[in-house]
Structure 1
């Protein structure tokens, strides 16, 4: 059958399905396995291993795999399939991260201007600039030599070393230590101890998204959980203060308005599921549009746990689905059946079908190593490997679908699909997670994660597949004569210069609200320019 525009458009639905599949693998298996590793490092008796459990160090190393996994596997698979979309996905993700994620984070930040941590920000900007220079150097002759790939990969090790010793460096130079008033609470503990409906609980907040380490360090801070029929409030029990409007907040959040999701309260109307886990753990799943947050409650006493469940169901008008966690395909089927029998709108029921297809496939193959079942946390390496396997499969299918789109719509080359459609699809969950972090009053952490992700995108997502491929082919150079890549590197440089320029404007090392819409607008301009060049509306900026 010859090319067909209708068939080409239908393939877009399938490539969107692959984006969801990649995100679900990361959210349900890849990131949880990484978090188990990080937790083990935090609890280690060795202080050098403990540092690998710190947010900054873990985020620059193993958590970078969770954030950049889809891009890395897409680049790796493209080397074996000969697709032009692989490196385009990485370059497109770099531009998306710096413009869209930083722009939306600034726009969603509750406190402005947004103060940045100077030393980590300067470190990440310098290494991002270095990664751009090295990438340009490697692509200059339109092929990647073995030596060039190893240089990029070695730079990843240097970056990780610098991240590891950043705190020691800052402590040695008092002038570099930030003033307390300028530091935002980017590493506040996510575990709180207090009472909810009169029951002693420990609460852990889990944000769903690859851009964040799903749960932070534990803490012993006491919180009063004011669970009312409207939702769940929280306030520190260690600080006596008069309760007024915006001084109240949900777990880990600071609020202004009363109606915004994750605003002044986690609303019971957004509580979709109550999942009964092992070890006295109850997961409250709050879902509103694209935002998904889990409150993990730990109640060791069985009687108190039953009392808490009764109160939650009473205040939520028994609307959420209460069930035990099942790591097998039976759990996926029960979720689909519940969705179809619920009072959810037709669109939600329709979306439950692709969710079941992916969730069922993953549960069928990874049920024995699912670390969300606390009894299986010791199997986290197998869960990690299994998630990488499925990421590779879905990345391969995404590239094959991109080939089909190009075949049916020849005006859309693979390079264009990679640098735009595939880059947006693989990076969009990061944008949602960053907005959540900004609403949680952690916008500086979201921006730091975006910059760190970009650095490791070049040093890992590009260099590691090149090294693996060349080791298997005797160091043979890799041709990289992909349309638009050199111009993409130019855009990477320009966007970094723009962000640094904003940082140097008064007030120094702070980002004002106006910068957010500007960065988003620049990304839209980038899409227009790239599209115009692809459809030959105007000549390319870089030949």
Structure 2
């Protein structure tokens, strides 16, 4: 709002509230990029066999350009063209200078290997986009907007076919972006990298209360992202929904950064031009920086640089051209401030030329040092010293590794010997138990046989006694019958002996 930066501190508490809100938005962008967007891009690349440079120039660039697209749509339909085009210019300068400078710094070896053909492809289309933007502005009609959109399709086609044209890039079906998960405060899971390990080591040096306080302050946004964005680690088939929801999250957080910068301009009096080239540009390009840095840490230079330059190309050909095309169809021609915009386009071209010059000079110098046979003696001695020191360091490392392996081998041998002794003891105890069980089984078997023999003898004795009982019963019956017969015959004899005299006596 004000042309001069006011030195007085504002008295409204809202002026101090927007700074932590903007920092928190940057934190949420890092969470979304690391945990959701890059794994989704990686899953899409693996599913459709997309090479790294193509994925970086198309998928990653398109997803990270969501903030610029939202800002341009709002600015164009609110008839404030300077905001949208200023955001494109600031993002382009940030992408070309900051991202291309950060990627080699965070790479594993301090240098980033990029295939010259892919770099020249993206740099050439970036230069074409700057020239076409210079040609189209300040008054854009339907034909100019159509040309910009057509070049967006041409760029996508060239990127898709470049791997086949150059023939030195093969998709291996693997990707280090999703190797390993590590938990961290404020989010569910993050990708493992060297910075994550350093962060964890840094966290271990702080008191538990501080970590709990930081985790409590940072966890709500990360938890909301975990609840709303599909995680391709848990749901591998939902990579498209994870991609677009992550893009929406980045757009919303970047738009909040833009709103915060506008409020900072009102409260603090910082000029809009300064905020647009710094805070707003960083806010809208922060996802690009995070994505490129994450890929550069894995040594994937093609994807990192293609994302930085491809984002600038898509910013002009699609992010800026698509809303202007719709606006031209609805309202007619589109007009912007020619003085500021054309100077900004010159700045875009100057930064691109500077990066190409630096990359070209470094490439030629590297080729000279590698292939030129007449190196200066000082460089040869310096190179020899570096190689000797590197060899000594590697020898020491290998020696320490060999010693560590030998100690591990001795430990393993001791463990194997101990296990063998335990095994032999267990085998002896098992054999002793088996012998005891066999002796008990034999004793039980002999007892069973003796019991069976006794039972057989008892059964025979019972049968004999039964037979004797039957014989005795028959003898008793026979004796009883004989006694009855004898008693009867005795009675008859007595009757015959005494009956006749009695009969004679009583007959008289």
**Larger strand percent:** 1
* 1:453 alignment partner in structure 2: 311
Q: Partners in 1 of 2:65 and 2:294 — Cα distance?
A: 19
For residue 364 of structure 1, report the CA deviation from its aligned partner: 4.1
Q: 1:14 to 1:446 in 2, by over 3 A?
A: same
1:493 aligned to 2:490? no
Q: Partners in 2 of 1:93 and 1:512 — Cα distance?
A: 34
Q: Given the alignment, which residue of 92, 96, 99 partners 1:94?
A: 92
Q: 1:455 to 1:421 in 2, by over 3 A?
A: same
Q: How many residues get paired? A: 355
Q: Partners in 2 of 1:511 and 1:357 — Cα distance?
A: 51
1:152 aligned to 2:148? yes
For residue 157 of structure 1, report the CA deviation from its aligned partner: 0.8
For residue 450 of structure 1, report the CA deviation from its aligned partner: 1.9
Q: Which structure 1 segments of 5+ residues have no match?
A: 43-52, 172-176, 178-185, 192-203, 207-214, 216-250, 252-265, 278-282, 294-318, 321-338, 514-543
Taking structure 1 as the reference length, the TM-score comes to 0.55
Contact conserved, 1:95 with 1:495, CA < 8 A, in 2?
yes
Q: Which structure 2 segments of 5+ residues have no match?
A: 1-7, 370-508
* 1:327 alignment partner in structure 2: none
Q: 1:136 to 1:456 in 2, by over 3 A?
A: same
**Larger helix percent:** 2
Contact conserved, 1:115 with 1:511, CA < 8 A, in 2?
no
* 1:481 alignment partner in structure 2: 337
* 2:282 alignment partner in structure 1: 424
Taking structure 2 as the reference length, the TM-score comes to 0.58
Q: 1:354 to 1:489 in 2, by over 3 A?
A: farther
1:138-172 per-position Cα deviation (integer Å, ceiling 9, x unaligned): 22x2x43333232212111111111122233335x
For residue 493 of structure 1, report the CA deviation from its aligned partner: 0.8
Give the aligned CA root-mean-square deviation in angstroms. 4.1
1:27-75 per-position Cα deviation (integer Å, ceiling 9, x unaligned): 4444444443333213xxxxxxxxxx22233333233222322222222
Q: Partners in 2 of 1:508 and 1:161 — Cα distance?
A: 30
Please give the residue correspondences for 1:432-451 in structure 2 after superposition, counting only pairs within 5 Å. 432-443=290-301, 445-451=303-309
Please give the residue correspondences for 1:85-234 in structure 2 after superposition, counting only pairs within 5 Å. 85-108=83-106, 116-139=114-137, 141=138, 143-171=139-167, 191=174, 205-206=176-177, 215=178
Please give the residue correspondences for 1:343-422 in structure 2 after superposition, counting only pairs within 5 Å. 348-366=211-229, 369-374=230-235, 377-413=236-272, 415-422=273-280
For residue 462 of structure 1, report the CA deviation from its aligned partner: 1.9
Q: Partners in 2 of 1:511 and 1:487 — Cα distance?
A: 36
Please give the residue correspondences for 1:212-291 in structure 2 after superposition, counting only pairs within 5 Å. 215=178, 272=183, 286=192, 291=195
Q: 1:396 to 1:34 in 2, by over 3 A?
A: same
* 1:309 alignment partner in structure 2: none
1:5 aligned to 2:10? yes
Contact conserved, 1:19 with 1:426, CA < 8 A, in 2?
no
Please give the residue correspondences for 1:46-85 in structure 2 after superposition, counting only pairs within 5 Å. 53-81=50-78, 84-85=82-83
Contact conserved, 2:112 with 2:296, CA < 8 A, in 1?
no
* 1:38 alignment partner in structure 2: 45
